[in-house]
Amino acid sequence: MRTYPGTAATLIRPLTRLLDRPDDRNDALSLLRLIGPEAAPEATAPILQLASNTETPIADRALACLIEWEDPRALQLLAQEIAARPLALQAAFDHTRDPYRAPIRFDQHLLEAIRQRLCDLAVPTGGSPSGLIERLQGHNEPIYLAGILRAWGPGAAGAQAELAKLLPHHPIQAADALAALAHLSPDSLERLREAPGSGTIADRLAIGRALQILTGETTALREAVIVGLGRQRAELAAAAIAAMELPGPDTELGANLDRALRASTAAGRTKPDVEARLHAAHAHWQHTGDTDLVLPAVRSTLDWAAEHDHTQWTAVAAADVAAHLAADAQNLLPDLERLLSHPTTCPAAAHALLRINPQRWGGESRHELAAYLTEAIENGTSFPAQHRAVDVLAHLSTPLPPPIQARLHALAERERRILSAGLETASVRSDDNLRRAIQRLISAPHTRGNSE
């Protein structure tokens, strides 16, 4: 389904009136939230009234809308009754995960409410939730709380004791948030050091990563990586990715990665198997400089992706490894050029081609590459890939051909939204962000003007 940004102004007033009708409030609120902050001048007052009346079921949804719109009063309302506002809390958490939005505004009242809520959650209640929704909320709430603290960074340092106590129950989220605080008290740091224990590989990697960020200590992360390299699939992939965060070159890590690769070649050819081998080969190259394992791994990944459906993102990962190899990946050029024809893989392939053969793709074939990237934006169904196509176009550092400029201008200005499906608020917001990115691209001095 398509939405049309220009129609919003005509809908705001009738939708706002529907907020007074109990039977229509939910639908009206959903559509106003979809329209976005431009509905705020007229709709904010009635939505704020709904959000303030906590006796009604719609109050939580109304507050979530105000948080989505970044209304300055929303966070204090959330702080007042945070335990009764699961949808609003999720909206605040989702805000922190959007790479195209500024971090959620710091609020001292909300910080204190989060600290108190984490303390409350640490105390057993003597029973367990009976319904699925309640169980999910009970699982997700600490994750949301820690995520907001992580987004605030050092400003949330006052919550480090509560986060440290969360480590046994949600080690990944708690460790990530603690790492963002920049400095820990001796007690909190000791809790972090004691946390790995016999946790999962993902838990141990998160804790080791936090210790490396906070103290420069690499022992915990290195030990977790070595254990993970003895596993398969997702655990092997996570350990290999973490290995690339350790200082190198490291011959011992290289030997462990070599053994992991040789053990995994006899494993299956499922997506997790293929991706684990790719990441392990990439880490092996980083720690040894040897291309004998990584080049075959990239090529076999691309071959596997070409033979299977819904594997575009695996091909993107392989293209990104090829980009890191730069000139060492010359033999992969034909494989990468084939990826230019798909809108999801095109931006990663274009980036790799520019890294491997800049003379051709940044020179004589730059207009051909610009055309492929523009098609990827026009025909894409993935906002991350479309944004990346815009970024690669910007890095061509050359005036775009007038026909390409015209196509991009038409995309940014057209009435019909660029998004391919869905009416989710995040999709509409992403569409607006993509339009702004295209506008910045075609307005940049180096992309305008005459081209050869």
Q: How far apart are CA 86 and CA 95, in angstroms?
A: 14
- Please say if the pLDDT value at position 222 is more than 90: yes
- Please say if the pLDDT value at position 268 is more than 80: no
For residue 336, give the nearest of 389, 299, 390, 379 by alpha carbon. Answer: 299
Which structure tokens are listed for 37?
């902050």
Q: For the segment 241-264, what is each residue's pLDDT rounded down to a tens digit?
A: 999 999 989 999 999 999 999 888
For residue 178, give the nearest of 196, 202, 152 by alpha carbon. Answer: 152
Q: At which residue do the structure tokens 């791994």 appear?
A: 297
3 state SS for 269-318: CCHHHHHHHHHHHHHHHHHHCCCCCHHHHHHHHHHHHHHCCCCHHHHHHH
pLDDT at residue 127 in the model: 52
**pTM value surpassing 0.85:** yes
Q: How far apart are CA 27 and CA 32, in angstroms?
A: 9
pLDDT band at 5 (very low <50, low <70, confident <90, very high): low
Q: At which residue do the structure tokens 């559509």 appear?
A: 31
Q: Which long-range contacts (CB under 8 A, 24 or more apart) does 27-33 make?
A: 29/58, 29/61, 29/62, 29/65, 32/65, 33/64, 33/65, 33/68, 33/69, 33/425
Q: For the segment 110-129, what is each residue's pLDDT rounded down to a tens digit?
A: 999 999 999 988 765 555 54
Q: How many Cβ atoms from other residues are within 10 Å of residue 10's Cβ? A: 9
Top pLDDT among 186 and 39 is at 186
pLDDT at residue 134 in the model: 45
Q: Where are the domains of the chain?
A: 1-102, 309-452
- Please say if the pLDDT value at position 132 is more than 60: no
